[in-house]
Chain A
Amino acid sequence: DSGVTQTPKHLITATGQRVTLRCSPRSGDLSVYWYQQSLDQGLQFLIQYYNGEERAKGNILERFSAQQFPDLHSELNLSSLELGDSALYFCASSAGLAGIQETQYFGPGTRLLVL
């Protein structure tokens, strides 16, 4: 158990819909990262937040957005869903120390299926 929690574990929805994935980081961690894992693309970095502020952006679509709240939990919002958005979405957290590469602790993931 990494200490990172994600809800829900599974999500089935239809094309065009909007969903929200939730992540709670490890106690004391200030940084939260979101990743998308699909069979053909592997593990893709989407976005990172540090203490409520966006810190780094990866291959995140404009239909996707995220935020980190004052209690440090984070939400990833996916809208106008397409079949190709079906994937595993992982959240990871780290302490958030500046200037060094930190270990990232991954949550169990949310499996999204768009029908």
Chain B
Amino acid sequence: GQQVMQIPQYQHVQEGEDFTTYCNSSTTLSNIQWYKQRPGGHPVFLIQLVKSGEVKKQKRLTFQFGEAKKNSSLHITATQTTDVGTYFCAGPRSGGSNYKLTFGKGTLLTVNP
């Protein structure tokens, strides 16, 4: 079945350092979504990427979708303590059900003030 892998599993940074998490799918994705889950909270939608090679920015966050639509990345510039949480990527299989999201296991980011 479809697998979505994320690396790294954990990342600890000093406040002000940059952070990147990578997402790789075993199958082509029609689109990819990113979610953030704060400790003790629930996943919150961040963004969706649809086009091959697409890049989107949200303030200090930059999201990329690979040319082959099988990988994606999230980069945070100058991390802040408010960035703490687990970042998940998720996507449906291209040509498959759009409703059946497969989530990666997430990258837990901790930030030392």
Distance in Å: Cβ of A11 to nearest Cβ of chain B: 16
Closest to B45 in A: A103
Whether B100 lies near A99 (C-beta < 8 A) is: no
Q: Are A101 and B92 neighbours in the complex by a CB distance under 8 Å?
A: yes
> B100: which of A45, A50, A107 is its contact (CB, 8 Å)?
A45
Contact B42 A90 (CB under 8 A): yes
With beta carbons under 8 angstroms apart, the residue of B41, B48, B103 that contacts A42 is B103
Given known A-B contacts A58-B100, A101-B30, A101-B33, A42 and B106 have beta carbons under 8 A apart: yes
Q: How many residues of B contact A (CB 8 A)?
A: 24
Contact of B97 among A42, A56, A100, A103 (CB under 8 A): A56
- Pair B99/A48 contact, Cβ less than 8 Å: yes
Question: Which residue in chain A gives the minimum CB-CB distance to B105?
Answer: A42
Given contacts A43-B43, A90-B42, A106-B42, contact A99 B103 (CB under 8 A): no
Give Cα distance in the complex from A101 to B41, angstroms.
23
Q: B-side binding surface: helix, strand, loop or mixed?
A: loop
The docked-state distance in angstroms from the alpha carbon of A3 to that of B8 is 32
Taking a contact as CB atoms under 8 Å apart, the answer to whether B42 and A45 are in contact is no
Assembly CA distance A94 to B104 (angstroms): 20
Say whether A31 faces chain B, with CB atoms less than 8 Å apart.
Answer: yes
Picked from A99, A104, A108, the residue with its CB within 8 Å of the CB of B101 is A104
A28 to B49, CA, bound (A): 25
Inter-chain CA distance A90–B98, complex, in Å, is 19
Q: Let me know if A65 is at the binding interface, CB within 8 A.
A: no
Residue-by-residue, is B10-47 near A (CB-CB < 8 Å gives 1, otherwise 0)?
Answer: 00000000000000000000110101000001111100
Task: Identify the 10 closest CB pairs spanning chains A and B, nearest first.
Answer: A42-B105, A43-B103, A106-B42, A56-B99, A56-B100, A103-B45, A106-B43, A101-B31, A101-B98, A56-B97
